Structure 1
């Protein structure tokens, strides 16, 4: 019989090796790292090799913290790799996806949850807020490349910027769902006023301003300090430090840390846009992100093997499929009406609304802070949507992005 500690070390070692090797092995295949991680988790936990049960209902606080760390590391990487300077016109597609597509997605999911699944307002809104954002972790295959690699097209830029921003802008609706749940399911005028002033205006403003300030300060220390610049170390560990500082300071100021981390990454790039040290920071953040992502998805596979989806009915399955194939694509298409995207790029951006680890975090956060009924049902629905997205988008990302890249190259002005 294996010692559990030695078994953990063995499993961790295998995961680390897979983190390094699988992206290269899967680069030309219509298969994603996320799919394999979930399958590994199902196989390992179903076979009884691991002596504990992966259960997000039982370990709700641990689930919240683990997914939180993965998302903030991913958001820093997303901020660092965007080459395009911030601007109203330059980022017009991202603003459309945040201001139009995401609220439409939340509204669509909330209405379906209430009238199709019979959920209360608070539970339906929590599902809408959790399932609306495009995930920054699992969307790496459809995003821009590393720093100074170029935008690689409007579609990749839009999906990267959307994934970076919408995790912060979805949080007000999670807070609204929690507030309604704590109030017994009703939204009074006083509750809405407090939500608008504190959870929307203050927390968003604090996230943007503190994130930008921390990013600029760390940018100065990294690239412009007169002595001992951090860029001189060549150590990408700086990215992790910047992530934790930006997140911690912003959360202490009661702002949205997710938004602050992404903005801090953008501010770091803005300080010294073409410095090679950005690549070192991005590469380190990406390695940490992949490692943590694999661990979370293996545990998600273990939760599936342990019965996470057992309570699903045909209504929940239809709900999940409608979100992936109808609500997000339709909301994405509406949000990009009038944009400079070609029809192909618009369809691609609308389709690739990948749901993933961010959705797991928001659901765990909401359930841990509010009074919601039937946790098992909410987890089953969210788990199904995430698994459906991992499968559908994971299989199609490589061939579809290869086609759009080839189309861009063929139509590039000479």
Structure 2
């Protein structure tokens, strides 16, 4: 083929660049266009766009998620840690029992109940093998810091009087790290079998105790040191004054890399580091600049990843689901999470409408994709394709339902003072 005949030949690489550029442009424009309406959210539109584009004839075949787990694992990993930094920098209130009392209930009661109930449904109704059922519970349980911006607390420098928003923000920030022990438990069962003698001691000592504590300590240390360096260093040169948001990448990557190097949980380290950084000279204007920069990067990841979710949803990603499996998905979102949330919040002084809002708004999203890709990459799950389909269906329905309901629900229960 001569060069002239190649002039109008479409190349996937160039088409991909054009598509990514359009998605990034949408990530920059859509939040402003949608700021005055309360229903449709940007992630919902990105997902719909992905579905529409991949329904068109001539679109390329997407890689199989079971056989190619590395790239979704790494892509979603970056998206989650950027979102964790943004969420941590939103927390205007200091570390205190009063600040976290609702969050601990959601983490210590609601999350384990959700894992257990979802795993039971996956085994009984969806016919999953025990390891895969446990994996389904582990990946579905964490709420998503990436897609939860509509229900999160306010950015630095703005009034923060909503206990409901605070609870949902801190829950999303920490349960993405605390889902790791249960994901590792599913991997251990897949590798060693159901007999606890093959994995229980190592799982409790390493995956639960050491990795959680080490990740927390790394986050505390990294957050404090980076605050001393970034905020404590005067911006005397023009370059230092103009790159005011760029250090947020260091606040994301350094804690994560350090925690992973000592074989702990990087997600916990990133969120704790951002929270620690936020409390160092909390009124400094640098806090706002770092948060805004992190949020801009987060929007790009949201746009790209939600586009891909929509693409996979219409490209055979849901083909393995039976009617019973669809019922499992619906039960997980509309029965298991709300019921587990209400159990976790039982005995609190929160009004019932706030309990219902917190229990219902457990948005599932990109964190679930990361955990499933991580597990499939590290162990062989014979019915991994079915788990992928169940997880994708859960995320799609969550994005649609929670996306439509999030703003009205959270505004209804968050007056100026809780």
State the TM-score, normalized to the length of structure 1. 0.94
Displacement after TM superposition at 1:403 (Å): 2.1
RMSD of equivalent CA atoms: 1.8
SS at match of 1:236: coil
Q: Choose which of 397, 405, 415 in structure 2 pairs with 1:396.
A: 405
Displacement after TM superposition at 1:24 (Å): 2.0
Q: Choose which of 308, 312, 319 in structure 2 pairs with 1:303.
A: 312
Q: Choose which of 82, 100, 107 in structure 2 pairs with 1:91.
A: 100
1:217, 1:235 → 2: CA distance? 17
Q: Choose which of 365, 371, 377 in structure 1 pairs with 2:374.
A: 365
Displacement after TM superposition at 1:290 (Å): 0.9
2:177 and 2:265 in contact (8 A); partners too: yes
Residue 257 of structure 2 is matched in structure 1 by 248
- Is 1:376 aligned to 2:385, yes or no? yes
Displacement after TM superposition at 1:89 (Å): 2.8
1:274, 1:147 → 2: CA distance? 8
SS at match of 1:90: helix
Displacement after TM superposition at 1:227 (Å): 8.1
1:55 and 1:303 in contact (8 A); partners too: no
Displacement after TM superposition at 1:233 (Å): 5.0
Residue 335 of structure 2 is matched in structure 1 by 326
Residue 23 of structure 1 is matched in structure 2 by 31
Runs of at least 5 residues in structure 2 that lack an aligned partner in the other structure: 1-8
Structure 1 residues 165 and 209: CA distance shift in structure 2, 3 A = same
Residue 284 of structure 1 is matched in structure 2 by 293
1:45 and 1:53 in contact (8 A); partners too: no
Residue 134 of structure 2 is matched in structure 1 by 125
Residue 312 of structure 1 is matched in structure 2 by 321
1:367, 1:228 → 2: CA distance? 49
1:4-403 pair list within 5 angstroms: 4-27=12-35, 28-48=37-57, 50-183=59-192, 185-225=193-233, 232=241, 235-403=244-412
Displacement after TM superposition at 1:170 (Å): 0.8
1:68 and 1:361 in contact (8 A); partners too: yes
Runs of at least 5 residues in structure 1 that lack an aligned partner in the other structure: none
Displacement after TM superposition at 1:50 (Å): 3.9
Structure 1 residues 275 and 42: CA distance shift in structure 2, 3 A = same
Structure 1 residues 222 and 232: CA distance shift in structure 2, 3 A = farther
Displacement after TM superposition at 1:49 (Å): 5.0
Displacement after TM superposition at 1:148 (Å): 2.2
Structure 1 residues 319 and 89: CA distance shift in structure 2, 3 A = same
- The CA deviation string for residues 141-165 of structure 1, in whole angstroms up to 9 with x for no partner, is 1111211223241110000000001
2:115 and 2:134 in contact (8 A); partners too: yes
1:234 and 1:277 in contact (8 A); partners too: no
2:27, 2:234 → 1: CA distance? 38
The more displaced of 243-252 and 146-155 is 146-155
2:248 and 2:294 in contact (8 A); partners too: yes
Displacement after TM superposition at 1:52 (Å): 4.2
1:53, 1:190 → 2: CA distance? 37
2:183 and 2:375 in contact (8 A); partners too: yes
Structure 1 residues 300 and 54: CA distance shift in structure 2, 3 A = farther
2:64, 2:392 → 1: CA distance? 12
1:213, 1:48 → 2: CA distance? 52
SS at match of 1:148: coil
2:264, 2:398 → 1: CA distance? 30
State the TM-score, normalized to the length of structure 2. 0.94
1:203 and 1:256 in contact (8 A); partners too: yes
2:128 and 2:383 in contact (8 A); partners too: no
